[in-house]
Structure 1
């Protein structure tokens, strides 16, 4: 990767990068729309392709496994590429694969194209967040993470509900075509707007691989992987649960998805402020505790579409735990910044695979069971955070804690 921009060494450069960050945020918007629309559209493509909803949830898991595999692979292969071309290439590939998912027939084909679409996800978002964070002073980096994250979160207010409307009105395939087109537009804008920064002559792919053997990195990733499984266990079945149990109005699912997006957006902004004020560990703990409360309410709310919509907002609000974990990885990853940032997305998408799979197995007990499964994941995440805190206290330098 090209060398990062140090906020302390180049304080005036952040404004020069605002348009490039906007182009990156559009790519994040496309990714957020595609990733979460695959959950919101689940009842429609399950029906159209003739598979049970529990089987159709494998589409969500396939995408997540693609992220898990693609994050380290793209970080390793792109270590000596200029960030501009690396980011444009990844988001262009993402766009093409989403369009293929929209036009190719069959459930098996959908599984394969969603798996492949997941592969550029972690590499693009991880490096995009580093790009934004590096333009700010060290103590403000959480804001840089949030700038790109807003593309993901706004996708859940606008993109995902619109994809759901397209899915209901014109067919679920349009829900994948939309982010595909947006991703290709993002690729063009990145090539036009991102600075042409040279390749770091000292960059070595093997330096990136060291993140996979760094206990501080791995324990931080484990907190996200385990703790956030519950977020996806609940969200993946919210649309199906509302349709099956609550008799919502025609616009009820769309409203619920948009409300979830508002929660994610506010959660990211508040999490950045919380991280700056309290530090990464305390912020992550508070957000995981809030996540448990939100998941318990989501289980209680099943059967009442108004309360389910409110629970979607609270679940979205709790997702801000991503921000302190991403910020902490910047502190402990050393020279493996790109790999660690990409692997954070891999960890969250592994949670995106494990959560729906676990909740799918529990569905024969009813839709309330997904909230109970979710609480189990979050409690385990707090336990993992305790292990991480102990390791940080005994093995890390003070500034990394």
Structure 2
């Protein structure tokens, strides 16, 4: 499994909106994996009572916090198997229109392609590329201006089956993020990662691997400060164990955790290290309800005008109820504490923390084999930090969407 940077995770209700209307699911998900070319379309309605994540003690933009927006989406899904090679691609175009804050209206793009390859009986791997253009979150950015974020990603991965139970894998990934607003350009960055893994998989079906990884982050624009200009460039080295343990017939424990050392010269002492990773437990009993829980301690970028990354410690719970052959209900809750590293020591710099709480509930109804209706609710709250100058807020969102795959 190749490197997936923490930068793919964003604590924002706009990201939860995407989760709530994710498509396809249930029967449509099976159809999407069929060979050939499929067309998809979607229409959605969302109401958010604190769209721009304005703190409780701050005046709202244009005298209001809430807004409603509509989403139209069209795309194509391609799945082709040629011999032992598999090609998969998805292209989606979306148009998002807001009722009040219409300066945020935008056209989104989501283009993804992957090639899963095999050569003989011992060599396999994949190559992937991705381009996403969407509205960046406002969780840590105080503005009512449109701020589109472009994400580009390329991945290559190759494995050698040295023995029926042993595999050697190498991989590389490149992620690039750029932002529309001049005030956010300091968060433009490129992250390059290389890794190697030795994996052991016995006949039991469980597996354990040792992963060595190096991540290099480059920020082209230097962030201004009272002492001059500072760089957010970093280098991170990791040595982690990857575990996939079939604990029982219904329980699986997955983990990618170990030691990480992050060197970022412009921050505090210039380096920090310690335990880093994520552990997930998945329980799928014979009934209609399944569960999962996760714990993590990870470095993650933050889209803030003054800070580039945080050290996050969090936990989450998820549950899925298959109410019938056509109805599924998903629920989730998460808590994440974010620790910031001060560039210089000042009064209160030993307590630079805040917390994000989130929860969501959605119901998916497979009306027909090609038609799906989704209804959902999501909640997000930030504790805020007086030292950082960020305030407390909460936000609620409701959503309804209809999806078509044909």
TM-score relative to the length of structure 1: 0.23
More strand by share: 2
More helix by share: 1
Q: Which has the higher contact order (CA 8 A, sep 6+)?
A: 1
Q: Which has the larger radius of gyration?
A: 2
TM-score relative to the length of structure 2: 0.23
